[in-house]
Structure 1
């Protein structure tokens, strides 16, 4: 359970301002960092050329900043915020601090869609589109199972997610078995581990509304999330339409997960670890936690992606880095929560 925080809270506006400035600093450093190092002056010149439309002083620096790094950083911010908001929302409505964005089988469903596109030899746009559609298809299947067995409790929904997730993993295994081991299999495995190497400005533009709209809805509903963490009878007594509002939150969190996974592939730990870090900073009140979590998730994802493209000559899959960093960090968080309890 989430324990109440008795410390005097820092004003939310102050925390949001500080985290926003931190995110901007991290993004600027990410624009400078990589195997091709750039100075802040070169980055500023490239950005100014893009805004004003004037010829850049250095075309190669302009290409690196505007066409390669800027779309990746924008995608990293959107994906980190999306997965973190989804994780925080799932943990609240399911009253389970270990809930994660792949709880309802959406992540595995998106992997199935992407794997099918890879086997069919389709382009990146189709890989992302089929991943998004298959993720929502998995959600529809999860929603259908409780109706089939005529049980609509939260536990039933979670169990349905586990069932569908297992089914999708089996389908992924079958697709790996029939994939060409020389080309397609490597692409499927790499996509499952997560990467922003193939992100373009057009793909970010296409997916941005599908991330920003549910983000806005969840931020507007963040006070209601506090009521949804209560027992259903208590929430209903306080005037909450439990079934409808919980459904809205689940759909928005799932939309965020599907959109994020369709851009980057499967990335673990962010939706589990970062919400706990946000609660350490902001407390257990969702009205404070969700904005903080979104900013923390975006900053964390930018750092991870910058490391992924900078630490070695080849691109390191994001899922490997999030696992290596997230696991000890989560142990520290659990230990600290246990000491507070």
Structure 2
């Protein structure tokens, strides 16, 4: 446990370091001395020697984007971790029950209908939740193998939503709406405003807190059903909590960031390599890893070239080879 505590302190230090670096990185350079003065000026009477533009960049542009990256990274990675345990499958990701496909359709529909940014986010959130609700309602009608039924129905519902999204892209205006839909589907945190972070903060917090408090019970989902019942634990109730919390987190995340893949698949594996499969330590570790990882990816996306790279492209380019490496070298750590 002492080794785990040391690793967690290192992860906290890394997150704080990346957080501070993220404020400095960008097309409008800010030196560390100025940053410290601006931050301290909010609490202490310090003579203002910097232009108003710097405060606008820090508080209206970069900090909202940084907090959004932390929230989205934590949500997707935690959802992936709990789903992998619940389904007893290391290849499960947060979109397994159709939430990402539903949210993508909701956003594409809203863009097609010329909704504003708030309308797009609300539509994505609603359809993300609707997708999972359909999967769950249909799965409870299937009496055999509930977990397998969830996965199969999730794939089917996701395929239906994906087909509708493709239809909208086919019908969309190629000069205006189609590029907007395509860029949104590739994932990005550009244009994030403080109100966007406030809008998703509560759903994400509502999802994270129960999973964190019940993290010791999540270990039960990975053991045999009869053995869990012998211990007096209601696995069905735990599964429902996991599905509701993960759906809230993923739907809220996708509504502001678009579809960002591989985080919920790779980060839980990395967490298991570092601290093992015990959810009592895996949950906080996964949250820290996911937050730091997406923050780093977002920094690369906006600083690597003059044109911002969609996050989905970078997470795929980095995540897929890294996942192959984990499977080849640490494949047994999931057990």
TM-score normalized with structure 1 length? 0.94
Confirm or deny: 8 A CA contact 1:49 1:56 kept in the other structure.
Answer: no
Retained in 1: the 8 A contact 2:142–2:149? Answer: no
Cα RMSD, aligned residues only: 1.7
- The residue that corresponds to 1:28 in the other structure is 20
State the alpha-carbon separation in 2 of the partners of residues 234 and 56 from structure 1. Answer: 66
Q: Distance in 2 between matches of 1:149 and 1:246?
A: 16
User: Matches of residues 133-282 of structure 1 in structure 2 within 5 Å?
Assistant: 133-151=126-144, 153-282=146-275
| 2:29 is aligned with 1:37 | yes
Q: Distance in 2 between matches of 1:331 and 1:223?
A: 29
Deviation at 1:47, TM superposition (A): 2.2
Given that residues 308 and 317 in structure 1 are in contact (C-alpha distance below 8 angstroms), is that contact kept between their aligned partners in structure 2? yes
Task: Note the alpha carbon deviations across 1:11-42, whole angstroms, 9 max, x for none.
Answer: 44333222112101101001111222211112
Rounded Cα–Cα distance in structure 2 between residues aligned with 1:17 and 1:228: 28
**Structure 2, gaps ≥5 residues long:** none
Instruction: Give, in whole Å, the separation in 1 of the partners of 2:165 and 2:154.
Output: 16
- Whether 1:17 aligns to 2:9 is yes
Contact 2:220 2:235 in 1 (8 A): no
CA distance in 2, matches of 1:301, 1:288: 20
- Deviation of the 1:152 alpha carbon: 6.0
Structure 2 Cα separation of the partners of residues 14 and 95 of structure 1: 28
Determine whether 1:101 maps to 2:111. no
Tell me how far apart the structure 1 counterparts of residues 109 and 246 of structure 2 sit (CA, whole Å): 24
Matches of 1:290 and 1:138, distance apart in 2: 25
Tell me the equivalent position of 2:316. 323
How far residue 239 of structure 1 moved from its aligned partner, in angstroms, is: 1.0
Q: Per the alignment, do residues 84 and 56 of structure 1 end up closer, same or farther by CA in structure 2, a change over 3 Å counting?
A: farther
Shift of 1:291: 0.4
Q: Give the drift of 1:244.
A: 0.8
1:224 deviates by: 0.4
User: Which of the numbers 296, 301, 307 marks the counterpart of 1:303?
Assistant: 296
Matches of 2:100 and 2:146 in 1, distance apart?
Answer: 22
For 1:286 and 1:14, the matched residues in 2 are separated by 17
CA contact (8 A) 2:263 2:319 kept: yes
Q: Does 1:113 align with 2:99?
A: no
Paired with 2:2 and 2:261, the residues of 1 have a C-alpha distance of: 30
Specify whether residues 100 and 56 from structure 1 end up closer, same or farther in structure 2 by C-alpha distance, changes over 3 A only: farther
CA distance in structure 2 between the aligned counterparts of 1:151 and 1:247, rounded to whole angstroms: 17
Give how far 1:313 is off. Answer: 1.3
TM (norm. structure 2) is 0.95
SS of the residue corresponding to residue 171 of structure 1 reads helix
* Pairwise CA distance, 1:148: 3.6
Shift of 1:240: 0.9
How many residue pairs get matched?
A: 333
> What corresponds to 1:90 in structure 2?
83
Cα distance in 2 between the residues matched to 1:48 and 1:179: 48
Quote the offset at 1:169 in angstroms: 0.5
**1:4 alignment partner in structure 2:** none
1:52: how far off?
Answer: 5.6
- Note the C-alpha offset of 1:53: 8.8
